[in-house]
Amino acid sequence: MSKLRQRSGQAVLLFLGGALGAIAAFEAARFFELRLAQEALLQYARSVLQVTEFSAAEAVASAKQFSSDGMDFCSDDEIAAMRRFAYDAAFVKDVGRERDGLLYCTSTLGRLPRPAPMPVPVLSFFNARLSAHVEIIPNHALALAPGSNGIIAEMLGVTVVVNPALYARLSSPPMHAAGIVRDPEHQTMAYAFGQPAPLSTAEVLQGSMLQRGGVFYQPLCSAAYNICVIASEARADMFTGRRGYYVKFPATTIVFSTVGGVLGISIAGCILLYLHRQRSFERRLRRAVRGQQIVCAYQPVVDLATHAIVGAEALARWTDDAGEAISPDIFIPVAEEKKFIGAITRLVVDRVIHDVGSLLMEGDFHVSINLSSSDLGDPAFFAHLERALKGSGVPARGLAFEITERATALHGEGQAGIARLRTAGHAIYLDDFGTGYSSLSYLHDLRADTIKIDRTFTRTVGTDAITASVVPQILDMALKLGLGVIVEGIETAEQADYFRSAFAGAHGQGWLFGRPVAAHEFKAQLHMRGRSSAQVPLASEPPSPAGEPDT
């Protein structure tokens, strides 16, 4: 039943991965299409503005020509010239002459029987190019074509009519355009053609694309003339395929969604594979702990003054059923994350007592065991430790415990656990000292017995590295606080000599003195080399090429 639920969960995850991938890709495709549509709308606005500037240029040209043509006012020659201009022009449909607010003649109607009053302008502003005022009457009924409206502009005594119907040809369904004449002095606008847009004068002048009521508006203003245009398109129309301004690929969304779904399923499959491997690894590790497959390797700790072996550090090791050695850097974090690191710690305690219990009963020989932060607050650990020591007869002084600076961050439970261990007679080592952020501030409160100087500081001996200057300060602080010192990662005789002379009674640990080995090898080495200074040569093995960790 559990396997069925597991498979159902996997199927659901794959389905959700595919669905979410398809949805994400669909939205990406829509975003892509929207960007293309917005760019098309901008290009359309630019083309409409360009055409509108052409019409304004024609109107200005007609005003300049007939205000200073040298012909008699509204003469036959001037009317003929105005007719030729209107015929050749693309946007100007009629040209006329006016004086004192009265229209006297046009290219279409000729001389009027009676001068006709000009309509009241909607906008009036000064044009610097003409050095004259310009008056605009948009959407005005035309006498030359009853039932039609035009845009009338009056400047320099010349009246120009532009047919707004010509701009309708600029429409590119479903995009639309509107033209605006503006008064720059008073910041007012009047629509010359097209439907008014729900934009303020400031928004039009700003020129940024805006969305109102599901419609995108792109305003643009001319730098040469007092005109602006607004191109618009409904957002819904941007995805219908009816746009004619650029080529739309209807398959884009389908392709994006299909690829996204496949990628989503692939990602979900990778997640399932990762989780399966994680669960499989966790299960294998738990089986190894239950089957007591976790063993200990022992690395010697020596007195730097005599090179005598005075103790060892117990390091957890695991070789799985396939014969593969799993690094503690891999399985220890998993055990910590999954909350069963305490079982490994208790197993290590049992292993140490079993492997070297007889050595722990002799003199001051001791073995240190690493503790996690959770062990310090775990009643099961303390109960197990007490039972193990009583059942074996190993004295508490034989077991020391190493605690990292990270573990000491648990001020409450951490300090209480440390105090309980010290009361029972165990020595406390502060491991990897100097790599944390808080040790200097409350080291005295922790009441540790010994600090272990991290190998990163050991490597600076004999170099110009800036961290080398910290080492004397650490040793001086240990001396003032009455703490013991164990130097980790010693690989050269130069490093050993430096710490031997810098701190009386310092102990060392590293490949120079021996690598971590199984219990029987360690005891054989100890028996062969003895524990007197005269019988303890340095290790013949070469140091690690890159300072490989002892653990």
Look at the block and give the residue holding tokens 């976790």: 294
Q: Backbone dihedral region of 393: left (phi > 0), alpha (psi from -120 to 50 degrees) or beta?
A: left
Cα separation, 299 vs 116, whole angstroms: 114
Q: How far is CA 116 from CA 106, 112, 325, 516, in A?
A: 11, 8, 106, 113
pLDDT reading at 205 higher than 70: yes
pLDDT reading at 33 higher than 50: yes
- The 3-state DSSP class for residue 334 equals helix
Helix axes of 519-529 and 341-360: crossing angle, nearest 10 degrees: 30
What's the confidence (pLDDT) of residue 4? 55
Residue 117 contacts residue 102 (beta carbons within 8 Å): yes
pLDDT reading at 441 higher than 70: no
Q: Are strands 507-508 and 295-303 parallel, antiparallel or unpaired?
A: antiparallel
Residue 131 contacts residue 155 (beta carbons within 8 Å): no
pLDDT reading at 436 higher than 90: no
Q: What is the pLDDT of residues 149-203, one digit of tens each?
A: 788 899 989 999 987 776 666 666 677 888 888 888 778 888 888 888 999 989 9
Residue 531 contacts residue 301 (beta carbons within 8 Å): no
Please give the order of strands across the beta sheet that includes 215-221. Answer: 188-193, 176-183, 227-234, 215-221, 210-212
CA angle 212, 214, 220 (to 5 degrees): 50
Q: What is the pLDDT of residues 299-340, one digit of tens each?
A: 999 999 998 899 999 999 999 887 889 899 989 998 988 889
Cα separation, 163 vs 182, whole angstroms: 18
Overall fold of domain 292-535: TIM Barrel (3.20.20)
Task: Return mean pLDDT, the chain.
Answer: 80
The residue among 246 and 23 whose pLDDT is bigger is 23
Instruction: Provide mean pLDDT across the span 60-78.
Output: 91
Cα separation, 207 vs 228, whole angstroms: 9
Tokens, residue 433: 């000292």
Express as a percent the part of the chain with pLDDT over 70.
76
Q: Grade residue 28 by pLDDT with cuts at 50, 70 and 90.
A: low
What's the confidence (pLDDT) of residue 25? 56
Cα separation, 314 vs 397, whole angstroms: 15
Q: Domain segments of the chain: what residues?
A: 2-239, 292-535
- Considering 71-75, 175-179, 413-417, 468-472, the range whose residues carry the highest mean pLDDT is 71-75
Nearest CA-CA partner of 119 in 105, 133, 98: 98
What's the longest Cα–Cα distance across the chain? 137
pLDDT reading at 255 higher than 70: no
Nearest CA-CA partner of 45 in 225, 212, 182, 167: 167
Look at the block and give the residue holding tokens 């722990």: 360
What's the confidence (pLDDT) of residue 259? 53
Nearest CA-CA partner of 93 in 147, 154, 164, 194: 164
Residues 6+ apart with CB under 8 A from 422: 428, 447, 449
Q: Grade residue 44 by pLDDT with cuts at 50, 70 and 90.
A: confident
Nearest CA-CA partner of 401 in 439, 379, 434, 375: 375
pLDDT reading at 540 higher than 80: no
Residue 41 contacts residue 218 (beta carbons within 8 Å): yes
Sign of the dihedral through C-alpha 29, 33, 34, 35? positive
Cα separation, 258 vs 252, whole angstroms: 10
Instruction: Provide mean pLDDT across the span 440-449.
Output: 70
Q: Grade residue 546 by pLDDT with cuts at 50, 70 and 90.
A: very low
